[in-house]
Structure 1
């Protein structure tokens, strides 16, 4: 029984109310692995690279995407440690609340929910840009059709979402591999002009660094937009079968996906497509470098096929963002104490948080703003907002991991008790991610100020920072008002030192890492997980073991 004289400042942990939780663990290793790829291959790679190439040139694009890719990889290793240990809905948003600050977690969660909701709008706007390859009339219709389809898929069982992502992602993977092979052939002379391109486009006027430092800084945002979604891997942990085995497998392969799908693809784009290619990126439209390379190979039909694939990738990216945003809002509602109306914590019998889905999808009407603003310009604004929000999410993962690791060591728990350890990132990983992302967020708005100040672009780069600050203090005020009538007593000498929450406003709202419960929400394998592991072990040791090893490696 609780002590009635216990200090009011007891550590505010954000545990999921399991009585209300209604999500189903139905995503398989095969589906989660492909969801990881879906988070890294989308409109950012297929369309955003055209904007990056036009604004920063081939060298800026290669350096920025490579650097951001490395940051993302380290960030996912940090997230993988926490998501494997505590596979809960809400993922890094919950970890930020639990290990950093409840007020910070509240602000971050709502910011990331808005980020996912805006990402859906961004993807629906991108669909209009892709459709302009064939027609320029009434392109908003495709956005409406896609919106209805995405809501319907996400309103079904989570397996429907997972299966759709698996097949769409498989198509994207095959397409990127074909593009890499074709890009090499086009570069060495298999093109309409039958000429060896080599590094010629790196030596044209303005290249390889277009726009100087301002162009270089702007590419950071588009690169962050392109890699956005990888961090939502942790969000799938709440609906993944046997997450303690699945999550480490998925995270470990991210490095090779980044190297193959981004670094090689972007290198070939910069070599084959000049930064000043007509219509590559402007206020009216954005052309995919993927489509341009297929055209250079001399096949209009192949270029149309590539554009169709890009259209399906837009659908996949929107599906992924809608799923993640719905789960973030759901986790806000089922947290204890709730950080969103409890209505959003309700689920259907199939385990779908329908109210959260409808609220998230409603923000997508932003995409129809293209009726008043040019498609390319609107997509650019949305891309900036989502890109900065992604950086804030990665920064929060670094902070949460920093505090989690300190708490683990400070409380004397050995590393071998962790279900997954990214050993080579100890201890430099979290401070590296945090410091580098702070520098990125500060510098990337350079082009909106110098040489000419642009209010619209400046707002799109930095609007989320003051919003985060306002949300932070809003939570502090709400919690202050809700606890002001509670009795306060001084702790005894034997009690744990107070955190300061009971004295004044406690603006810091920092969690005490020595008092945080490191056993809460730790996942324990259930009988079904053990049975699946045993079945897989028998396959890998049986007569057809080489077949099954190849099968598991592929899927």
Structure 2
């Protein structure tokens, strides 16, 4: 069955004086709301957006807590293993999104390739994850400021962040793209800085002239290294330490889903998106695998200063293993540079979450799973009501005013930990339906603009791994003496909520589980992209410097 829809809107309504456009397309067989976003995100924007949503406090600060639980080897192995799962998810997304580059893609793919009820459950799950991460990052921002001073009013800091998120996300997509490009570039430079710092100081280039190398991996120097024991002793304790590191990795490492969310607003998407997805491997290897290795090099897992900083919840970069190492080696200034970098990383991550959450809500509305007014866009192509609603949820950050910031941060972490893993599992399952539907309908994958490798193995691999980790994520609550009902509910809430959303939508709307030969592949939307690409004229940089700049990020 194919979609018999016109590639041009049949009705246009404009709210005079409001600058808000509402465009609808309908046919006898189906209906959907026309996507009025603008393709203004360039290749360099998308490359850095993929970095901006992944590098945050977890990589520079929170990773130290995992080091103390599992030791340097467990941390490095766990991050390396989890990167393979994220790479598999990236492979699934890249093939689908490059062929069908639409707004909020994987949420709408679940609708068309599997079941509208799954599209609803997946969309709500991802929206909750992204929206909850915004107040989390805002609270983290106010905590990081306290590295320098605690005299700044919390309310003022929250208003400051919300104001700039509003400015960058409401007025035009290009403002968001430009801001995220420069903010993410700063994060990337910070990640490279700490890697370079590790390399030179381990060779003796530090004020103490201490050539420490892999000293903290050596069992003769550090008892228990390189595998630490967590909760209990022996092999069981070392295994639990590894699991703790794996849980941290599953929360820290992401990326391909953020790239996919730009598909509906990407300039020349079928050329730009494959390059962005292909670079995921290099980002994972550089920032997460190498980064986790560096953390285990600069400080021992049982470092007294690190343990005290974590137990005392020192603000900002005060709990960062890198700052602990810098202070031990009596290196001035650098701790302040790291804290400034962490501050910009937090702001950038929150900015990415506002964009992704609002586009998810926009995609749900396009498919009729959220109120229609969320599809309305400004003349600059911004889904204004989706952005405003997302920012309204960010007001939860004011919970910090009447509660301890560490408690509020933990609330948000517990709520969203499983959501990201469920999101990856939904993507993998959706790809399997896409893969087998193409096979059933005789569509040759070699004709696609981009074909990912090792399929369908990658889809099965990521589906199984992410599903298992979603169940394992809150494992500590089941350890002897650790049972806590609130922690259990927060850790597993979305695992219980998603089936309820799926079954509820399915029973209420009587949606079908799509047969493989009935799956449709967004024919109308693909025709619109085809027409756009036929008329696309790339902007030619005016100087050699700009050409070199564009080449670097494409």
1:8 aligned residue: none
| Structure 1 residues 491-526: Cα deviation after superposition (integer angstroms, max 9, x where no partner) | xxxxxxxxxx6xxxxxxx421111112352325444
User: Match for residue 343 of structure 2?
Assistant: 311
Alignment of 1:113-192 (within 5 A): 113-137=127-151, 138-192=153-207
Does the CA-based 8 Å contact 2:110-2:118 persist in structure 1? yes
Take 2:533 and 2:100, find their aligned partners in 1: how far apart are those partners?
Answer: 19
1:31 partnered with 2:63: no
Q: Is the 8 A contact 2:98 2:449 kept in 1?
A: yes
- The residue aligned with 2:16 is none
Equivalent residue in structure 2 for 1:242, among 268, 276, 279: 268
Q: 1:389 aligns with which of 415, 419, 438?
A: 419
Q: Report the 3-state secondary structure (helix = DSSP H, G, I; strand = E; otherwise coil) of the residue aligned with 2:267.
A: coil
- Out of 431-440 and 296-305, give the one that drifted further: 296-305
1:233 to 234, 259, 266: 259
Report what 1:418 is aligned to: 448
Partners of 1:546 and 1:470 lie apart in 2 by 54
> Offset of 1:141 from its aligned partner?
3.2
Aligned pairs for 1:525-544 within 5 A: 525-526=530-531, 531-532=536-537
Q: In structure 1, what is the equivalent of residue 12 of structure 2?
A: none
SS at match of 1:198: coil
Partner of 2:520: 517
- CA pair 206-381 structure 1, distance change in 2 beyond 3 A: farther
Distance in structure 2 (CA, Å) of the matches to 1:259 and 1:146: 31
Number of residue-to-residue matches in the alignment: 507
- The equivalent position to 1:288 in structure 2, one of 320, 343, 346, is 320
1:463 aligns with 2:493: yes
Deviation digits for residues 255-278 of structure 1, max 9, x if unmatched?
011101111111011111233414
Shifted more, 52-61 versus 390-399: the winner is: 52-61
Q: Is 1:209 paired with 2:228?
A: yes
> Secondary structure of 1:245's match?
helix
Shift of 1:297: 4.9
Q: How does 1:246-265 map to 2 (within 5 A)?
A: 246-265=272-291
Select between 405-414 and 209-218 the one with higher mean Cα deviation. 209-218
SS at match of 1:195: coil
- Pair 1:551–1:92, CA change in 2 (3 A): closer
Q: Distance in 1 between matches of 2:370 and 2:101?
A: 21
Q: Kindly indicate whether the alpha-carbon contact (under 8 Å) linking 1:50 and 1:280 is maintained by their aligned counterparts in 2.
A: no
Query: Structure 1 CA distance, aligned partners of 2:299 and 2:347?
Result: 26
- The alignment status of 1:339 with 2:369, answered yes or no, reads yes
**Which of 456, 472, 488 is the aligned partner of 1:427?**
456
Separation in structure 2 between the aligned mates of residue 319 and residue 13 of structure 1, nearest angstrom: 38
Q: Deviations over 1:399-440 (max 9, x none)?
A: 011110000111001122211101x32231111111111221
Written as runs of structure 1 = structure 2, the 5 A alignment for 1:71-150 is 71-137=85-151, 138-150=153-165
| Contact 2:70–2:228 under 8 Å retained in 1 | yes
1:443 aligns with 2:446: no
> 1:320 and 2:352 equivalent?
yes
Partner of 2:439: 409
Distance 2:309 2:388 in 1: 35
The equivalent residue for 1:487 is none
8 A contact 2:33–2:375 mirrored in 1: no
Q: Is the 8 A contact 1:179 1:290 kept in 2?
A: yes
Quote the Cα distance in structure 2 between the aligned partners of 1:546 and 1:313.
27
CA drift at 1:60:
2.4
Classify the secondary structure of the residue corresponding to 1:197: coil
Using the TM superposition, give the Cα deviation of residue 187 of structure 1 relative to its aligned residue in structure 2, in angstroms. Answer: 1.8
1:70 alignment partner in structure 2: 84
- Check 1:468–1:101 CA distance in 2 against 1; reply closer, same or farther (3 A cut): same
Measured at CA, do residues 460 and 229 of structure 1 come closer, stay the same or move farther in structure 2, by a change above 3 Å?
A: farther
Secondary structure at the residue paired with 2:78? helix
The 1:224/1:367 distance shift into structure 2, 3 A limit, reads: farther
Q: In the alignment, is residue 274 of structure 1 matched against residue 300 of structure 2?
A: yes
CA distance in 1 between counterparts of 2:375 and 2:312 reads 40
In 2, Cα distance between the equivalents of 1:315 and 1:550?
A: 24
Decide whether aligned partners of structure 1 residues 216 and 95 sit closer, same or farther in structure 2, where only a CA change above 3 A counts: same
CA distance in 2, matches of 1:174, 1:16: 43
CA displacement, residues 521-540 of structure 1 (integer Å, 9 cap, x when unaligned): 3254446665535969xx9x
Distance in 2 (alpha carbons) for counterparts of 1:437 and 1:25: 32
CA distance in 1, matches of 2:59, 2:67: 11
Contact 1:78 1:429 (C-alpha < 8 Å) held by counterparts: yes
* Normalised TM-score (structure 1): 0.85
1:445 Cα deviation from its structure 2 partner: 1.9
The residue aligned with 1:221 is 247
2:143 counterpart SS class? helix
Tell me the distance in 2 between the aligned counterparts of 1:439 and 1:185: 39
CA distance in 1, matches of 2:186, 2:142: 21
Question: Where do 5+ consecutive residues of structure 1 fail to align?
Answer: 3-11, 481-500, 502-508
Q: Which moved more, 1:59-68 or 1:151-160?
A: 59-68
1:552 matches 2:542: no
Contact 2:54 2:349 in 1 (8 A): no
Judging changes above 3 Å, is the alpha-carbon distance between structure 1 residues 551 and 321 closer, same or farther for their aligned structure 2 residues?
closer
Report the counterpart of residue 23 of structure 2 in structure 1.
Answer: none
